[in-house]
Amino acid sequence: MARRLRFNGTGSGGTGCPSVHEDLDSREVIVHGPPLTDPKDVAQLQHLSEGEVAVVVPRDLLVDWTPKGDGTRQARIIGLDEFEDLFRTFKHTAWRLEMRQRYASDETTDTYRQFLETGAAQWDPDDPYCELIRSQTAQGKRVERVRIVDQPPTTGQLYLLDNAKRNSALGEDIRNLWRADAERLYQLPAEDFWLFDSRLVALLRFDDDDQLVDVELITEPAEVVRYSVIRDAAWHHAVPYKDFAAGLAE
């Protein structure tokens, strides 16, 4: 069975080589880079076994991107009230990546039932979430999302595309990206998260039934940088939701 590898980061000005990956299950670290080929250099290496290849990487690559400690960072789980407070206390930006095909909590709402029946929902522009986000964007703060969409889109993804009309009216900037493009252009992780002020990550953890179970708060600088890189890649390639919806209608 193939390993579950996570891209941690790269050196060489971001050209992709050398790079560091991490095995999410074994916690092993995989480094790739230009091979050491000069026979005089190779002859100086100790314990280089048959089949092994030596690669050359900058010291900064290992300092910046290899896991720190013993690889068993204690997860900090926060309650939903504390998670909600993050939307009141962020200073500049709140950015979301939505990777899932469905969210079970959506399917219990009246708006979801309306969408199934009519293809559109009657959104309440004054519910507590709307009031909170509107108050934040009115201060010049940015709230942004990238939503990954399958081809063809799932019902839940079409529902959220309809939802984007309401949320954009609150001042959110919502964009979409085909999953195939996300996988081809940049290997985005199968994780949903919020990134606040490029300073902390709220990783949303779901069960097998697509129910939100809990939220893990991540403040480790190297991890925050990794999620920031994911944000930049997704945002660069994503399409404003109106353009994306217009493409679906063609």
Q: Per-residue DSSP letters for 57-70?
A: --HHHHHHHSPPTT
- Tell me how far the alpha carbon of residue 38 is from its chain's centroid: 41
Reported pTM: 0.75
76-249 under CATH 3.30.300.30, yes or no: no
**Short-list 109, 116, 125, 123, CA closest to 163:** 123
Element (H, E) at 204: strand 200-206
Q: Locate tokens 């193939």: which residue? A: 2
Nearest-5° Cα angle at 148, 19 to 13: 25
Locate the domains of the chain by residue range. 5-65, 76-249
Nearest alpha-carbon partner for 10 in 186, 148, 178: 186
pLDDT, residue 16, reads 59
What's the start-to-end Cα distance of the chain, in Å?
40
**Could you tell me which of 243, 231, 249, 126 has the C-alpha nearest to residue 186?**
231
Q: What is the pLDDT of residues 15-47, one digit of tens each?
A: 557 887 888 778 788 888 888 888 888 788 787
Encode pLDDT of 178-233 as tens digits. Answer: 999 998 877 688 899 999 999 999 999 999 999 999 999 998 888 899 899 999 99
Cα separation, 129 vs 156, in Å, equals 20
Alpha helices in 90-220 (DSSP H): 110-118, 128-137, 155-169, 179-185
Residue whose token pair is 């997860």: 75
